[in-house]
Every structure is written in structure tokens, then in C-alpha cells.
Amino acid sequence: MAIRYISINSKLYSEEDAKIAVSDLSIQRGYGIFDFLKTINGKPIFIENHLNRFYNSAKEMNLEVELDRQSLTNAVNELMAQNNIPNSGIKIILTGGFSEDGYTLHKPNLIITQVPFEINDDYLYKGLALASYNHQRQLASVKTIDYLQAIRLQPYLKEKKADDLLYHADGEVREAPRANFFIVKENKVITPKTAILSGITRSKILSLQIEGYTIVEQDFKLEEALRADEAFVSSSTKNAYPVISVDGQKIGTGKIGPVTRLINEKLFELIKQS
């Protein structure tokens, strides 16, 4: 297998050698932000949107990105050229940096990784079973590295025989740990508005035109989700991915619905045109 490279502060390292000092505030204090995008046939998809969000997350967390947009794009391109993985997921992480006292922010470390990404639409015929969980993510609008709850709850998912979590705040639906959530009900496609991460795929969906449907940001309760005609999650890896049940209760027909399928097709078109 070819060596896979990782970029740390714009230098390339083999996976084995890609290490950072334990004084980094990600290790000491869980402090960092990131963004994640995919490449298809060697082309980064919606990279401008992802970079916008990345710089915004950095700003919200008082992290200075040493590289300007062009230099950061160059660093991504350099990694892609070296790795030669046409279909991939690219993760750009910015940590709190090496801190002398383990608390005060220092010059951030920039880490870029790339992993192969299978394009496969079999999943459309499977769909996800979600388990609801009462949890409001802190700093929800910022893409921080905080996944304490999601990872801690992996055994809980197994126990519930579910594929992923659906966070709600005292009954008000928010999002999945790595994806936004949508329901289809009558002539509306609805996604929660409050205290969520603004996903890039979510924003693309909000911009779509679907005949006979309006697509809206609007908060709703878990009970409404259970009574929806269709439900799906959205993310860069999953596009629009059908949700077939929540807490063991079937949503709609328990299969991918026509609106989810149509949105998915339209997303693929957008991706092709991008």
C-alpha cells in the first residue's frame, strides 16, 4: 500500500511520523476546531463553503489561522497531489497549540489528513435507525472537536440497536452528532433552526427547489419527527441519507421516500456542477 501523508503546519509526514507534542491544547484541554470535505475524482467539493466555515470556527474560538485562504488551499492541494486518492475525505484540524501552562492559547497547529472515501449508494436502500438523546451541544454553531457525548454513547447505540444518535434539547429536535436532520411532512421539508451546526450540505438543501414543497428552517419536537412522512440526515459524506426509524418507531414507510430520493439526486447534480 502506498504511504499516506498527513500535513502538519504545511509539512508532509508519513502517517507513522505524523505526531504532535502532548503539550498541545487538543490533548490537554480538548481545544480545537476542524472542517471536513470530500473530494470526487480529485476535485474538492464545496471547498469555498468549508473554508468559510473553518475560518469562522477559528475566529469564534480565538484561534489564529496562520495561513491565508490561498495558502491553506495550496496546503490541501499539496497533500492531495502527494496522496493521490481521487475519492477521499479531507479533514482540516486547527488545535489550541503548544501551551506552556497547559491552559493559555498559543500558536495553533494545523493538521490536514486525507482518507479514501467509498462512493456507494447502496445505503439509500438501507437507511438509518436513530436513537434520540437529550443533549444540547455547547457552542453548537462552531465546528469544534468536541464529540465527548457521541463517542461516549457508542455502547448506548449498540444497546438500542441504532446506527446513530438524534440529539434533542428537552424534546426539541436538534441534529445528529455528525449530520443535520430533516423531516418531510405534507408539503414541507423542515430542518431545525436553533442551536445546531449549519452544515454545508444542509445549506445546499435549503437552496434547492422541489416542486410542490417548501424547504424551511423551523424547530420541531421529537413527536413531530416520529409522525413525519419521511426523515433524513444530511452531511458531506452522507448527502441526504434516509432515516427509517427513531427509537424503534418506523418513520413513514420505513424506506427511503420520494422526496429524500429527489433531494439526493439534486445534491448529486450540484456536486457534479461544482
Instruction: Return residues touching a copy of itself (CB under 8 A).
Output: 6, 8, 15-16, 18-32, 60-62, 91, 93, 95-96, 102-105, 111, 113, 115, 135, 138-139, 144-152, 154-155
Contact 87, 119 (CB under 8 A): yes
Query: What would you measure as the largest C-alpha separation in the chain, in angstroms?
Result: 59
Min CB(149)–a copy of itself separation in Å: 7
186, 136 contact by CB (below 8 A): no
Cα four-point dihedral sign 64, 68, 72, 75: negative
Our CB check for a copy of itself shows the closer of 86 and 102 to be 102
Closest distance to a copy of itself from the beta carbon of 116 (Å): 12
C-alpha 232/C-alpha 252 separation (Å) is 11
Q: Which is nearer to a copy of itself, 71 or 104 (CB)?
A: 104
In the complex, the smallest distance separating the C-beta of residue 125 from a copy of itself, rounded to whole angstroms, is 23
- Residue placing its CB nearer to a copy of itself in the complex, 58 or 215: 58
Smallest gap from Cβ 140 to a copy of itself, in A, equals: 12
What sign does the CA torsion over 175, 179, 180, 186 have?
negative
> Where are the strands (E) in 126-251, listed by range?
128-134, 164-169, 172-175, 180-185, 188-191, 214-217, 230-235, 239-246, 249-250
Which of residues 146 and 219 has its CB atom nearest to a copy of itself in the complex?
146
Tell me the closest approach of the beta carbon of residue 103 to a copy of itself, in angstroms: 7
Q: How far is the CB of 262 from a copy of itself (least distance, A)?
A: 30
Chain center to CA of 96: 21
The residue among 154 and 253 lying less far from a copy of itself, judged by its C-beta, is 154
Q: Cβ closer to a copy of itself: 117 or 268? A: 117
Q: How many residues does the chain have?
A: 274
